[in-house]
Amino acid sequence: MRLSRYFLPVLKETPAEAQIVSHRLMLRAGMIKQASAGIYSWLPLGFKVLRKIEDIVHEEQARAGHLAMLMPTIQSADLWRESGRYDAYGDEMLRITDRGGRDMLFTPTAEELITDIFRAHVGSYKDLPLTLYQIQWKFRDEIRPRFGVMRGREFLMKDGYNFDLTKEDALHAYNRHLVSYLRTYERMGLQAIPMRADSGPIGGDNTHEFLVLAETGESEVFYDSEITDLTFGDREIDYSDKAQCQAVLEEFTSRYARTDETHDEAEFAKVPEARRRTARGIEVGQIFYFGTKYSDALGATVTDREGNRLPVHMGSHGIGVSRLLGAIIEASHDDKGIIWPEGVTPFHAGIVNLKQGDSEADAACEVLYDSLKALGLDPLYDDRNERAGGKFATMDLIGLPWRITVGPRGLKNGVVELTSRRTGESEEMAPEQAIQRIAKIYGTSQA
């Protein structure tokens, strides 16, 4: 993409309404624009990152054997009356009446609808295990929408639902989700710690929330500092192997890590004092096993081998896809702007032309731009007639992890400059070498 052709409405001033850094930076970098309280338009740069996050979620769900689908945002109230949640959900549910006077709602979550699909089409143990998920907009009429996309009213969520014949199988689905979530967040450059949580209106006993540690987090968390040393990394895992998934769950949940809702001082006191931490965290996901709560309410049963009809065991699993943009920025920024982890960056590298209009500089930039694209990479070329300082400030603000700076002086010596956004370190090298370095970082090899 050429910046002269892009739509990047960066703001010079710090928006007064934004209280936390991720919200400020998303507005300043022209990623989002508020439409009304807690409701945002996603401008091209923000939308691009949102899509990258969605892609990672889809890839990791596929790896775990889960099937993508899509359910409507507007649902009839009938199913919610059947489950008893139409009234129980309270004021957070946006209720709508259609022209025929029917009660509708904008979905805050989809346990009812998915259970209805299941009961209509699945009747036998032979069709299990089954896990279906979607990435779809949700609406919750939050009393205090704030912090930009972190606590919106309309927000994008991955919500998944597992259906299993037995409790044991459903707990395997729970463990499988925990493992796949660990991978998912790490690919986004985040450490998200599973913490024992409270099940809230969804109900059930087994639940963990995934929290990213950040001063601006809304949850108070208590944990054993050893947990921050754990990483999932690129280990191979067979998701159908119950013992393997269980072992990972135990590894990541055996140390004390809880939100304030489940915090227990006496238990916490058993952690050696030097390792006890109290901090704040951003909830970026949650997994639940809730057994037969919805299948009992809605009559979703399956026959087992002996022909007995049994209620299906279920769980639900959510990732805050749009909230993740805020969480990633909270975890990765400096006073100049965002620092995108390579896994989610909107463009792989920026090209800054220090002297637009200089025939050699222009030509060198075109070669870099075309070469990166030929490798399947997505560069952003700042080809505007602007001063170098302004170009650097924009690149730093929007946070591309790598920048190639091209100017007539360097070109005389056959070099350009490759700069890491994270460390600020620059290195001079031949243009071809810069291309190779970037290709290597993103794992694409030069054809």
Binding site for ligand ATP (CB under 6 A): 109, 140, 142, 151-152, 155, 157, 283-286, 318, 320, 322-323
Nearer residue to ligand ATP within complex by CB, 109 or 394: 109
Nearer residue to ligand ATP within complex by CB, 27 or 349: 27
Q: Smallest distance from the beta carbon of 268 to ligand ATP, in angstroms?
A: 21
Nearer residue to Mg ion within complex by CB, 286 or 419: 286
Nearer residue to ligand ATP within complex by CB, 151 or 333: 151
The interface region with Mg ion, picked from 38-46, 279-287, 365-373, 432-440 by CB under 5 A, is: 279-287
Nearer residue to ligand ATP within complex by CB, 291 or 320: 320
Residue number with the shortest CB distance to ligand ATP? 320
Collapsed DSSP state (helix, strand, coil) of residue 76: strand
Q: Which helix (H) or strand (E) holds 242?
A: helix 242-253
| Residue of 207, 286, 316, 332 interacting with Mg ion (CB under 5 A) | 286
Collapsed DSSP state (helix, strand, coil) of residue 49: helix
Q: Which does 403 bind (CB under 5 to 8 A by kind): Mg ion, ligand ATP, none?
A: none
Q: Are 41 and 149 in contact (CB under 8 A)?
A: no
Q: Are 313 and 292 in contact (CB under 8 A)?
A: yes
Q: Which does 285 bind (CB under 5 to 8 A by kind): ligand ATP, Mg ion, none?
A: ligand ATP
Q: Which does 323 bind (CB under 5 to 8 A by kind): ligand ATP, Mg ion, none?
A: ligand ATP
Burial 373-411 (b: 16+ CB within 10 A, else e): eebebebbbbbbebeeeebbbbbbbbbbbbbbbbbeebb
> CA-to-CA distance for 212 and 443, rounded, in angstroms?
27
Nearer residue to Mg ion within complex by CB, 175 or 286: 286
Q: What is the DSSP letter of 385?
A: S
Q: Smallest distance from the beta carbon of 330 to Mg ion, in angstroms?
A: 18
Nearer residue to ligand ATP within complex by CB, 149 or 406: 149
Q: Kindly state whether residue 259 participates in binding Mg ion, applying the rule CB under 5 A.
A: no
The interface region with Mg ion, picked from 21-29, 51-59, 67-75, 285-293 by CB under 5 A, is: 285-293
Residue number with the shortest CB distance to Mg ion? 286
Q: Smallest distance from the beta carbon of 199 to Mg ion, in angstroms?
A: 9
Q: Which does 157 bind (CB under 5 to 8 A by kind): ligand ATP, Mg ion, none?
A: ligand ATP
- The CB density around residue 181, as the number of other CB atoms within 10 Å, is 28
Q: Which does 148 bind (CB under 5 to 8 A by kind): Mg ion, ligand ATP, none?
A: none
Q: Smallest distance from the beta carbon of 149 to ligand ATP, in angstroms?
A: 6
> CA-to-CA distance for 397 and 406, rounded, in angstroms?
19
Task: Using DSSP bridges, classify how beta strands 257-259 and 130-139 pair: parallel, antiparallel or unpaired.
Answer: unpaired
Tell me, by CB under 5 A, how many residues bind Mg ion.
1
Q: Smallest distance from the beta carbon of 421 to ligand ATP, in angstroms?
A: 26
Name, in order, each residue with C-beta under 8 angstroms of 307's C-beta and a sequence gap of 6 or more.
none
Backbone dihedral angles phi then psi of residue 401, each to the nearest 5 degrees: -65, -25
Nearer residue to Mg ion within complex by CB, 288 or 402: 288
> Would the CA dihedral through 349, 355, 357, 363 be positive or negative?
negative
- The CB density around residue 178, as the number of other CB atoms within 10 Å, is 21
Q: Which does 152 bind (CB under 5 to 8 A by kind): ligand ATP, Mg ion, none?
A: ligand ATP
Q: Smallest distance from the beta carbon of 446 to ligand ATP, in angstroms?
A: 39
Q: Smallest distance from the beta carbon of 358 to ligand ATP, in angstroms?
A: 46
Q: Smallest distance from the beta carbon of 282 to ligand ATP, in angstroms?
A: 8
Distance of CA 30 to the CA centre of its chain: 19
Task: Using DSSP bridges, classify how beta strands 313-320 and 276-291 pair: parallel, antiparallel or unpaired.
Answer: antiparallel
- The CB density around residue 344, as the number of other CB atoms within 10 Å, is 23
Nearer residue to ligand ATP within complex by CB, 142 or 358: 142
Q: Which does 410 bind (CB under 5 to 8 A by kind): ligand ATP, Mg ion, none?
A: none
Q: Smallest distance from the beta carbon of 91 to Mg ion, in angstroms?
A: 18
Q: Smallest distance from the beta carbon of 245 to ligand ATP, in angstroms?
A: 21
User: Alpha-carbon dihedral of residues 351, 357, 361, 364, nearest 10 degrees?
Assistant: 70
Class of residue 302 by CB neighbours under 10 A (exposed 0-12, middle 13-18, buried 19+): buried
Polymer length of the chain: 447
Nearer residue to ligand ATP within complex by CB, 318 or 407: 318
Beta bridge partners of 402: 420
Q: Quick one: which of 77, 284, 108, 88 has its CA closest to 192?
A: 284
> CA-to-CA distance for 134 and 154, rounded, in angstroms?
16
Tell me the Cα Rg of the chain: 24
Q: Smallest distance from the beta carbon of 200 to ligand ATP, in angstroms?
A: 6
Interface residues toward Mg ion, by CB under 5 A:
286
